Structure 1
């Protein structure tokens, strides 16, 4: 098993959060990790998924479920408890899979513009043939807020597909979400053009007791575009 490269923010005494990036890579989460650690007095772990950013991806990590189990082992190795898992896009799917592992170390999950389920009439936008400008228009409420260099699809797309498959959905996931037994919040950018708000509502409806929050003036990456609003939603403010 490859070592998962992980950055930490905050102090060891603070309540832990596991922050999971999407296909745009770990850079899409760094700013929010710093904000969460500072404002929520949180200990934030920000891993780079194996295979992203030039890291090693073992053959055994061949599915989202396998990666979820690797993250549960990471929490065990670090002896972390009362962990809230927060994931965006692919990271949202991964957060759901981690919650489904039933680890007592995980006590909550936040799915931010997640992917992975199939919703009739609301397919994921195929980003493979989009120009950078088109991708920004689908990903951001205000494309001018996209950081220089873009947010995806990144050179890590091969690693991403190695976990998700080329369709980036799991036909079994929506039904399995009913087995999650920790509190879940589903947060969605109102202007998400990759997976729309109705897709997000279907995600929340599949999880018992999940709370759905719609963020105005945000697209697929609220942690980049409207981090303050996402933080308030996450903290229930």
Structure 2
């Protein structure tokens, strides 16, 4: 048995060489003060096939004559539209903002089919994009800047690949791209959600976790330095988690979406997220914290190299939710991209980025 183990180890390929990506340019635009942190933005129900989702809106706050564009924000697994409160406030100098609660999360009802597949979330985001684009105003009918974190990052990547006509730019914050291994912070037991009957057991176990315990665990796992989280944000998260415990579907949405995420990793061919990443033709910014415990930060340069002409921002000491932990740096990188796109400047390197894309797209098997 030891000999066989050594043979298997020797066959593991070395991480492939990938083309360099361009470093994100940070905008010097004046940003509004966010101390104290702003409260959650108001929202409303937006129709989607078979039901509605809750969408929060951030009003434009630019100076007279400044560009007025639109942005849609998509949260990660277990998150909600409130994850984007701070970043939306900063980007309001240029963008009206909409932040969606995916079906079954935040204040959105569960999908009528009971399915929490990644494809279902993609369909919901496309519908909300159509809604945002159709709103009256200066930017009516124009493509929308799309931002996603974690599960929302994977969902927005798929949306941008399939409906580039709706997307002006794409910002991926620690996207949950396929890695074909379970993140250490989750533990291998979560693979059991793929087995019949186990999701119900996981839902019952989650029901025994108090809101305070849930938020405390989230801070430890998602943030590079939990001590930097403002007290106001912790209290708001606990209040939001209490609201979630009153929803009969809350734990089911979390466990079933995790199952849908892992199932999506098994897709091959045209549906594979790495292959779709290589097909992106919209300006892309990849943002990652180097202390991300949920999605390996070593994937950051690999994803940025796989996406044609992408920019990359790696934040030192930051975890899985850069838009919460480092909102100003994240906002300046997003604004730098938007400014350059508006000026017609290249949004990333144009030479070499696609040369090793095939290797970069295969590196998920060697991650870690």
TM-score w.r.t. length of structure 1: 0.83
Q: What's 1:27 paired with?
A: 82
Higher relative contact order (CA 8 A, sep 6+): 2
Residues 119, 199 of structure 1: 8 Å contact kept:
no
Give secondary structure in 2 for the equivalent of 1:208: coil
| Whole-angstrom CA distance in 2 between matches of 1:93 and 1:144 | 28
Of the three residues 157, 162, 166, the one matched with 1:101 is 162
Give secondary structure in 1 for the equivalent of 2:281: coil
Name structure 1 gaps, 5 residues minimum.
Answer: none
- Matching of residue 84 in structure 1 with residue 163 in structure 2: no
Following TM superposition, by how much is the alpha carbon of 1:124 offset from its aligned partner in structure 2, in angstroms? 6.0
More displaced stretch, 155-164 vs 91-100: 155-164
User: Considering only aligned residues, what root-mean-square deviation do their CA atoms show, in Å?
Assistant: 3.1
Q: What's 2:35 paired with?
A: none
Q: How does 1:32-43 map to 2 (within 5 A)?
A: 32-37=87-92, 40-43=93-96
- Matching of residue 2 in structure 1 with residue 75 in structure 2: no
More displaced stretch, 218-227 vs 3-12: 3-12
Residues 7, 46 of structure 1: 8 Å contact kept:
yes
Following TM superposition, by how much is the alpha carbon of 1:27 offset from its aligned partner in structure 2, in angstroms? 2.4
- Matching of residue 71 in structure 1 with residue 125 in structure 2: yes
Following TM superposition, by how much is the alpha carbon of 1:224 offset from its aligned partner in structure 2, in angstroms? 1.2
Q: What's 1:17 paired with?
A: 71
| Whole-angstrom CA distance in 2 between matches of 1:210 and 1:119 | 23
Could you report, residue by residue, the CA deviation over 1:133-167 in whole angstroms, capped at 9, with x for unpaired residues? 56533322211134425599986453244345266
Greater per-residue helix proportion: 2
Of the three residues 123, 137, 143, the one matched with 2:226 is 143
Following TM superposition, by how much is the alpha carbon of 1:119 offset from its aligned partner in structure 2, in angstroms? 5.6
Following TM superposition, by how much is the alpha carbon of 1:214 offset from its aligned partner in structure 2, in angstroms? 0.5
| Whole-angstrom CA distance in 2 between matches of 1:134 and 1:194 | 13
Which of structures 1 and 2 has the bigger CA Rg? 2
Following TM superposition, by how much is the alpha carbon of 1:36 offset from its aligned partner in structure 2, in angstroms? 1.7
Q: What's 1:159 paired with?
A: 253
Residues 15, 41 of structure 1: 8 Å contact kept:
yes
Change in 2 beyond 3 A, CA 1:67/1:226:
same
Of the three residues 249, 265, 272, the one matched with 1:170 is 265
Q: What's 1:205 paired with?
A: 305
Residues 4, 50 of structure 1: 8 Å contact kept:
yes
| Whole-angstrom CA distance in 2 between matches of 1:141 and 1:186 | 18
Change in 2 beyond 3 A, CA 1:71/1:137:
closer
TM-score w.r.t. length of structure 2: 0.56
Following TM superposition, by how much is the alpha carbon of 1:41 offset from its aligned partner in structure 2, in angstroms? 2.5
Q: How many equivalent pairs are there?
A: 234
Residues 118, 261 of structure 2: 8 Å contact kept:
no
Change in 2 beyond 3 A, CA 1:76/1:117:
same
Change in 2 beyond 3 A, CA 1:45/1:124:
farther
Give secondary structure in 2 for the equivalent of 1:148: helix
